[in-house]
Structure 1
Amino acid sequence: MGRPAAVPGERRTRDRILDAAINLFARDGFDQTPVRCIAAAVGLTEGAVYRHFPGKEAILGAILAYAEECVYAPLPVETGLGGDGASVFEGLLAPLPAIIEANPVVVKIMRILYIEMFHNEKVRRFFRAEFMERADDHLAGLFGRCIELGTIRDCDPRELASVFNAFRSEWAFKAYILDGEAGVDPEAARDDLRAAIRFFERMLCPKECADDTEIDRRTSP
């Protein structure tokens, strides 16, 4: 017998397994979530899950791969380098709330990373490599091009990247993780970004790159 025809709009079983795993890992933790619980959440047998993933570590690996895609999806500023009159700092920070709020699964993956990296070596290596080292390299290259163009003052682009990336990580943790989903205050998150944009611009832009009104507009929902 051939495979039954897919029901229009039906999501792939693999994606449903990943969604269930993300929900459970974010709520209960990786170690506390057996494969049978993931299977039950999707309405499958445990054996059916193993037909898609060889084990729980493979499920975690797929989640980390998706997190990497989200982190390095290019923002417009990375190709235009603020050509619309906005500073590179505004271009990197202002879109973050809308991006995160448009894809709630990102917050759950962030929660998994922040919780698991303290006792899961695979997650710790991933976080260090992708969210720290690679992110610093990526930003250093971007800031270096901005220095060449004269849109930010001469400085060490790698040191700037490290400081900027540290702020961005701290902001995400404070805004979306620290108090849990019930504690998220989108407007407070935007206020923090407005203040940070002004700080980076006043410290590093040769002149004011965008007035407060423009910043307010760009960080509004």
Structure 2
Amino acid sequence: SYIANITVTTGSSNYYAALTPLASQTVQPNQGQVSTTTAPVSQPTITIQQGQTVMTIGSTQTFSGTCTGSDTVILVLYGPGAYTNGMQIAQVPVSAINTWSYTWNPGYRIISGTYTMIAFDKSMIASAPDTFGVVGGGSVSIIASSSIVPPGGTVTYTGLCTTGANSVILTLYGPGQLSTGVQVATLTLNADNTYSYKYTFDLSRPLGSYTMMVSDQQHTASASATISLSS
């Protein structure tokens, strides 16, 4: 038997119990006594691994693994939005060599955040989780503290990233060697998804227009700010 307290919420929810078979019981004749022996039970086993730790909205994610003691793997996804209470994604057949694989293609119907895919055997006895991130569907911004800077001057770049990424990349474009762009920093976002970076222009930099471009780590969104290096 299984007993648990649950909270019933609006909408659809799934509840799973991982049950362990009880030991078998054998009655000894003429003694009226019950002795307990452990029956050999083949417990299913299951593993799961993701194709990428961070996927972008609009792309696909592949899950694969092994499974013994079951011919089917059930995949249940937990995450933000529609997946808050868990949603069964697929029932995947297990191959003759105890492997399985499934490609998830949610399109653009998901939001950025952290997700956990749980693989169960068909009897819901064994399970294995795998957590991954989803980014995209947002924007990044950048603001320069000044529009005109003298040689050797410093500009502070600040902005916000709402794509769900953990970091942003800053790339500087300008005259000479910077014509094709040079990556100057990779910044971890603050808890409120903001960032700040101070860049000091070398005295040897030629005068002219410079553009600092920011993109989230997965390059799903970008923005730029232009300043003039002038004496």
TM bin (shorter chain) = under 0.3
Task: Identify, as 1 or 2, the structure richer in helix.
Answer: 1
Greater RCO (Cα-Cα under 8 Å, separation 6 or more): 1
Task: Identify, as 1 or 2, the structure richer in strand.
Answer: 2
Structure of larger gyration radius: 2
TM (normalized to structure 1)?
0.28
TM (normalized to structure 2)?
0.27
